[in-house]
Each structure stands twice: as structure tokens, then as C-alpha cells.
Structure 1
Amino acid sequence: MYLTRFRINTARADARRLLASPHRVHGAVNASFPEEPPRDGGGPRVLWRVDREANRRATLFVVSPGRPDLTHLVEQAGWPHADGPHWQSYGYAEFLDGLKADDRWAFRLTANPVHAARRKDGEPTKRTAHRTPAHQMGWLLKRQEALGFAVVEKPPERRMLKSGDELELLVRDHSPQSFGRGAAADEKNSVRFTRVTFEGRLRVTDPVALRKALTQGIGKEKAYGCGLLTLAPVVGAA
């Protein structure tokens, strides 16, 4: 397994065009491998996420069973004539194998929080996006045990509200996505979903389940930049 980081040059028109469509990014990520990565089955898969910062920086993260070659992305959306390296790929297996119960990590997850709903009795249920931060957080908290972690509680002195602020968890972004697949811009080839980014701190409860979440993704729309959970050392007091 590999974790790869690629900084996108947002000053380039081709880069901005790429970022405007998760379908284009999906294709560019798949083109990083000699054979198109499998999307089904129970094993590790290719996951990706674009993180955008307030300073207009954008970074592509990719988790994959094989090492990717991002030369085409450097030429399209990077700094092809600058001194390298143009991307960094790190062996991920040692990190995954080192996860232990009760370890604490800062985390970031971009996901597609949905639920099954019906407008009236007798109609079939339809996949529907959660709209509010409270329901979006609830979606993640409902799954945390099965995913092998528990979101950490805030110390009482750091809570800003009497209720609803007990956990180290926030919704950083709520972004409706709508784009077409292929040349035909009709309803059949359109994709619509809501992308949400969670940030917080977690405690590992089941290392095996967490490794699965880190390598197979969480939730729906994994092909379009959702599902990738990443961990980082906790900075500051717990």
C-alpha cells in the first residue's frame, strides 16, 4: 500500500478545469496505474481526496495498493519545469501494521453522508443526503464502532456550548457536487451528491477494522473523491 501526495498548481487553467470535475480527477487518478484499478471486491482499493486550504492551495492525496506514476498530472496541473520531486509516495504498510488500540490521532475524512428516505408512504426509499452538520456528524458517529475508532471527547473546559460540543469533531466543508460523465450532458450521464469533510480526533478501538477503513474507504461515491480517511499525529493537548 502507498500514500501519495501531489500539490496542484491552481494558477494553471488546466488545473482549475481538473478540479471543477470529480469525474476528471477520477480519470486522472486511474491513469496513474498501468491497469485500471479494481472498484469492487473486498480488498484494498484506490482512494483519493482533494484538500483545499484557505490560501488557495490544493493537494491531491491517493491511497493505493500499487505505486502511482503522476507524470501526466505534473504536466497538466503541476510545475513540470520546476525542480522535483513533483509528488511524494510513501510506503503505507508499516504505518497500517503499527496501529494499536488506544492510539490517538487527528483525522480528516471526506465522505458522502446519506440515508434512505421516502417522501410519502408507499413510495420506495431513495438515497438522500444529510443536510445539517448535526445529521452529518450523526452519520459518522453511528459508524465509528464498526470502523474501528471512537471520536474523542473534549475536556469540559474546552467546550464552547452546554450541549452539542462534547466531541472533537467538526464539519469543515459541505459541498454539493453536480457534473456530467462523458460527452453527453444529459440526465442519464449526470452525477449529483453532497461531499462533506470531517475533522477531529479519534481513539483506535479495533486496529483491524480501522486498517480496513483506511484502505477500502468509508461510505459511497469513492470513485469521486469520497471515503478517504487519513490520520496525523495529534498536536497539542488532548
Structure 2
Amino acid sequence: MTTLTRIVLNPRHRAVRNDLADSRQLHKTLMRLVPDNLGPSPRAAAGLLYRLEPAAEPVVLVQTTHHPDLTALPRHYATAQSRDLTAMLTGLQPGLPVHYRITAAPLASRSATAVRNPATGSRRGKRTPLTGDDALAWWHRHATAAGLEIITSHTTPRPFPRRDTTTGPHYRLTQFNGTARITDPRLLAHALTNGIGKGKPYGAGLLSLAHL
């Protein structure tokens, strides 16, 4: 069962402030919602995707394929409500018009920066963040591959909170909003449950739909 949970964070809580300042820390907190011992890729095994919403109050949407254990969050950390997405996923129909929203990490591999992998001998370019028209073109390609025909698109840069002492990847996030038409329900259901693009542990990739 795929579940979407709307979590309204308490900005006065120290743990909330720490999480909002560092995407890696927020990821660790949200992973408490799913069972332990899910193997070498626990986030993917749990189907955990999330997105911070642009709102006056801090809200995070969390999607999982396990029913979330909301009691695992720190006391007074947030209030939350969950709903089952099964009806939405099984009700996708070709030609159905929808609103969509996704925060993604558009990237391109530049061949000019290609470096040979010493283990495989293959060459792979450096991943470069995309912005502006390049980011929009990236989204149109990925949306098409996900079973959507884009009708309108609007882009908004989104922050990637990270402490100066934090190691690991840094992504440039872009939010895409607009309208689309469903072309392939099977591909779309896969994209909805598995996410789109890179940066999924850090708040990217969760695609949301609503009927027009």
C-alpha cells in the first residue's frame, strides 16, 4: 500500500530547526517512519520520497510503501495525517488531465568532462546541475518518459539546505508545476511510486498529481 503523509512541522522544536537546516538530517529523521532491516538500500525498499512544500508553515509530504510509524518522530515534532494512494494509482486513465508538482534535481552528464573509470574502462562525464530552459527541457523529457504529456510548466528554484560541515552530494533543486495529460498509466504509476531523477534521499523526485 502506497501512503502519502502530510507532516506539519513545529518550527519551535529544536529537532525541526536542525532538520530544516540540513537535508541529510531531515532524511535521517524521516527514515524513522519506516521499518528497520530493509536491506542495503532502505530508502528505496521503503519507497520513501518526500518534498518540502513552499508554504507559510513548514510542511513536508512523505510517501512510503510501508504504513508510516508516526510515533517514531520526536515528541511534539509535528502533527501528521496519512492517506492511502491506492485509489489514485489504480484510477489513472489515458487522456486524463491533471495538475502536477515535483521538486527535482535536473542534471546532465557533460562529455567534455568525461573521466575514465579505472575499474570498467568506461568514460562518464561530470554531472552538471541544469537551470532555466535546460532544466525545463530536462523535465519535459522525463515527464514524457513517465507517461505525461506536458501542457503547461512553471519553474521555481528551491533551496537545498546543507550545513557547511556536511559532506556528501549537493543538488540544485527546481520545482515544476503545471498541467499535463496522462498518456501511459503504467509508466506514470511507476514514476509516482519510485520517483523521478536523482537526489531522492534529499527531497527530490516526489511527483504529485491532482485532477483538474
1:136 corresponds in structure 2 to 135
Q: How many residues align?
A: 203
2:92 corresponds in structure 1 to 99
1:35 corresponds in structure 2 to 36
More strand by share: 2
Give the TM-score, by structure 2 length. Answer: 0.85
Task: Verify the 8 A CA contact 2:31 2:43 in the aligned structure 1.
Answer: no
Give the TM-score, by structure 1 length. Answer: 0.76
1:173 corresponds in structure 2 to 157
**2:102 aligned to which of 97, 104, 109:** 109
Q: Distance in 2 between matches of 1:109 and 1:179?
A: 24
Q: Distance in 1 between matches of 2:144 and 2:137?
A: 13
Bigger shift: residues 206-215 or 43-52: 43-52
Q: Distance in 1 between matches of 2:43 and 2:86?
A: 20
Q: Distance in 1 between matches of 2:113 and 2:28?
A: 38
Q: Which amino acid aligns with 1:75?
A: R
1:46 corresponds in structure 2 to 48
Report deviation, 1:41: 11
Report deviation, 1:44: 7.2
Please tell me whether Structure 1 or Structure 2 has the larger radius of gyration of its CA atoms.
Answer: 1
3-state SS of 1:212 partner: helix
**1:90 aligned to which of 83, 94, 113:** 83
Q: Distance in 2 between matches of 1:192 and 1:121?
A: 20
Bigger shift: residues 220-229 or 118-127: 118-127
Q: Which amino acid aligns with 1:141?
A: H
Change (3 A) 1:141 1:67: same
Superposition RMSD in Å: 2.5
Q: Give the share of equivalent positions with the same residue, in percent.
A: 27
2:63 corresponds in structure 1 to 63
Q: Distance in 1 between matches of 2:115 and 2:29?
A: 42
Q: Distance in 1 between matches of 2:169 and 2:115?
A: 26
